[in-house]
Amino acid sequence: MIYPTRFAVLLAAAGAPLALLLGAVAPQLWLAGPGWAIFVAVLMLADSFLGGSRGGLVTEVDPPGYLAVGVPAEVEVKARFPKGFRPGAVEAALQADPRMGLDGKPKRAALREADRSATLNFTASPLRRGEAKLEKLWVRWRGPLGLVWKQRAEPLDIAGLVGSDIMGVKTEAVRLFARDALFGIKAQMDVGEGSEFHALRDFQAGMDRRGVDWKQSARHLALLAKEYRTERNHQVIMALDSGRVMCEPVGAAPRIDRAINASLLLSYVCLKTGDRAGLYSFDSKPRAKSGALAGMSAFGLLQRIAQRIDYSTEETNFTLGLTALAGQLQRRSLVVIFTEFTDSTSAELMLENLGRLLKRHVVVFVVMRDEELETLTDAEPRTPEDVSRAVVAAGLLRERESVLSRLRRMGAHIVDAPVDRIGPSLLNTYLDVKRRDLL
C-alpha cells in the first residue's frame, strides 16, 4: 500500500490559498491551483519510485517461546533492506490475540548502516492462560522526499502458549530454600527439626533437656539424648476454586492464576522435601484432579494439570466440590483451599462444608487481600458517591473479616496476604504446620 504522508497533504493544501489569491488578482492565472496539485502529485509519484520496492523488505519476528500471566515479555521484530533503497527509519505495528496483552502502539526505529536493519521491541503483558497468536505485522517507511508512506502487511499466524509463571515459581522456591534452609534441603537441618525418632547421641550443651533419655543414660552410664528428624511423606492437597469470582482480575491478573502460581510453588517445595502433593479444582462441580503425587518428576504433571484449569463463569458449589474432595482423601492430609466469597449465603455454605473437612484434616484457607476495597475505604470522600462507595466497601471488609474470624475459631489456618506475597506466606504456614507436628 502507498499513501500520502501528512507533509504531502499539507503541501498540496498550501497551494489552494495561493491559487485563490492569484485567481482573484489575475483571473487568467486560475490554472495555478490545478498546476500546483499536479506538481505535488508528480513529486509523490517520484517519491514512490525512489522509495524502494516493498518486496525488498525482509522481516523477522522473534516471539517468546513461553509467556506467563502477569509477567511482561518482549516480542522482537527486525526489518531489513538487504539491497537497494534504505530508508532512515521504519515504523511497525503488531496485531495479536487479546490473551497476549500486546502493547498496540506503533514502534519506530532507525536503520543501522552496518547491516541495513532496524529492531523494534513490543511489550506483551499476558492476561490469561491459553494459546495466543501473533496475527499480523505492518511495516511502513517514508520515501526519500517524505511525501509518501510505503507499507507492507504480512499475516503471521505465530502461535504461542500463555501459562503460569513456572520460572517465577522455581526462582522463588530456590531463593526461599537458600534463605531459610527448609526442611530436608540441608543435612544439618534434616535432623532435630521434627518429631520422628532418629537416633541417640551424647548430650551436648545447648540441647533441649527434655530430649534426654534417662533410661538409656542409666544403662550406658552416659548422658544420652534423643535425636529427631523431619517427617516425610505427608499428603498436601491444593484445592482451587475456579468459579466466577476467582476468575476476576486482581493486581493485573485473575485470582485463579495467582492461586495456581502459589499452588505450584508449594507443590515444588513439598515434592522437594519428600512430601506428596496434589491439585484439585472445582466450580459448579469437580474439575481437574491429580491425586497425591511424590517425587520431583511429578512436578511436570502438576504443571500440565494446572494449565488445564479453565476460566469459569459458573458459581462455585462448595457443597459438591468439598464433599467430593473429602471422599477422595483416604488419610489425614493438609488441605490448602484457595477461594473467594462475595456474600453471606455462599460463605455459610463454605463454612458448613469446611467444618466437615476440619474434623479429619488440617485446613489452610487462602484468601487474597482486596487492595481495591481497602483503597476505597481509605480514600478521602469528595462527593456523595465517594461516601457511598466507602460505606459499601467497609461493609464488605467487615463481613469478610467476620468469616475469617469464624474460620479461625473452627481451627482453620488463615493465609490473608497481598497478591504478590501469597506464595511466601503460604510456605511459612506450611512450615509452621510441619514444625508443630499437626499432621
- The grid cell for 305 is 494439570
211, 258: one domain: no
Please give the tally of structural domains in the chain. 3
State which residues form the domain around 203.
194-229
Stretch (H or E) spanning 334: strand 334-338
> Which DSSP category does 112 fall into?
B
Question: Are both 65 and 36 inside the same structural domain?
Answer: yes
User: Cβ–Cβ contacts within 10 Å for residue 379, how many?
Assistant: 12
178 and 211 co-located in one domain: no
Same domain as 211, residue 261: no
Q: What is the CATH number of the domain that holds 431?
A: 3.40.50.410
Q: Are residues 45 and 55 in the same domain?
A: yes
Distance CA 302, CA 271 (A): 11
Give the Cβ contact number of residue 438 at 10 Å.
Answer: 13
Strands 276-282 and 235-241: parallel
∠ CA 128-63-52, rounded to 5°: 130
Q: How far apart are CA 8 and CA 228, in angstroms?
A: 84
Q: Is residue 189 included in any domain, yes or no?
A: no
Measured CA to CA in angstroms, residue 387 lies from 57, 374, 376, 391 at distances of 59, 14, 9, 6
Residues 306 and 414 in one domain: yes
195 by DSSP, 3-state: which? strand
CB 256 within 8 A of CB 310: no
155 and 18, same structural domain?
A: yes
Q: What burial class does residue 327 get, using C-beta atoms within 10 Å of its C-beta: 0-12 exposed, 13-18 middle, 19+ buried?
A: exposed
Both 77 and 176 in one domain: the answer is no
Give the cell for residue 139.
511495516
pLDDT for the residue numbered 231? 60
How many C-beta atoms lie closer than 10 Å to residue 387's C-beta? 11
Alpha-carbon gap, residue 1 to 6, rounded angstroms: 16
Question: Do residues 68 and 150 both lie within one domain?
Answer: yes
Q: Are residues 253 and 135 in the same domain?
A: no
> How many CA within 13 A on the CB side of residue 313?
0
Distance from C-alpha of 363 to C-alpha of 411, rounded to nearest angstrom: 8
Phi, psi of 262 (to 5 degrees): -65, -35
Same domain for 150 and 2: yes
Residue with cell 522481516: 59
Strand partners, 332: none
At 89, which CATH number?
2.60.40.10
Reference 9, options 105, 117, 149; nearest CA is 149
CA distance 317 to 320: 6
Report the distance separating Cα 337 and Cα 237, nearest Å: 8
Same domain, 89 and 2: yes
- H/E stretch holding 66: strand 66-68
pLDDT at 192: 47
Q: DSSP code of 102?
A: B
178 three-state secondary structure: helix
Give me 187's grid cell: 543435612
Place of cell 534504505: 86
Q: Report CA-CA distances (Å) from 409 to 39, 248, 327.
A: 86, 29, 24
The per-residue pLDDT string of the chain (439 residues; one tens digit each, 9 = 90 and over) reads 888 888 888 888 877 777 777 667 777 666 667 777 888 888 888 888 888 788 888 888 888 778 888 788 888 899 988 888 888 889 999 988 888 888 878 899 998 888 888 999 998 888 888 888 888 999 998 988 888 888 989 888 888 788 888 777 877 777 766 655 444 433 333 444 445 555 677 877 767 677 788 888 888 888 888 776 556 688 999 999 998 888 888 877 888 998 999 999 999 989 888 899 999 999 989 988 888 888 888 998 998 898 888 888 888 888 899 899 988 888 889 999 998 876 677 788 788 888 888 888 999 999 888 777 777 787 788 888 888 888 888 887 888 888 888 888 988 999 988 888 888 889 889 988 888 878 7
Report residue 103 as a C-alpha cell: 502493547
**What is the Cα Rg of the chain in Å?**
33
